[in-house]
Amino acid sequence: MNKGLIEGKVFLKEETKVTGTEISFNSLPTRTEQPYFHIHRKNEETYIILTGAGFFLVDEDCFDIQVGSVIRIEPHEKRSIRDSTGETMIYMVVQS
């Protein structure tokens, strides 16, 4: 079993031997959302939407996302993501 596997998420740090970033592939089932808001103390995140569409919330700002959307989040900003389609959303997160 891949040690980097969590339900709906695969971390690639060990497989790629990176030292300054964390890369993960994530999935959200249809019409669901990440069940929590979160922040990071040091790391910024870049989300890249590969399939699906929905909404992204950063602090008080909510906006549409779709295939090809790229969202950069500063460490202190609260974030969450929601799929609003009948298609599973798959997205990549690069944290550095």
- For 44, counting Cβ atoms within 10 Å of its Cβ (0-12 exposed, 13-18 middle, 19+ buried), the class is middle
Q: pLDDT tens digits, residue range 3-61? A: 444 456 666 666 666 677 788 888 999 999 987 788 888 889 999 999 999 999 999 99
Q: What is the pTM of this model?
A: 0.81
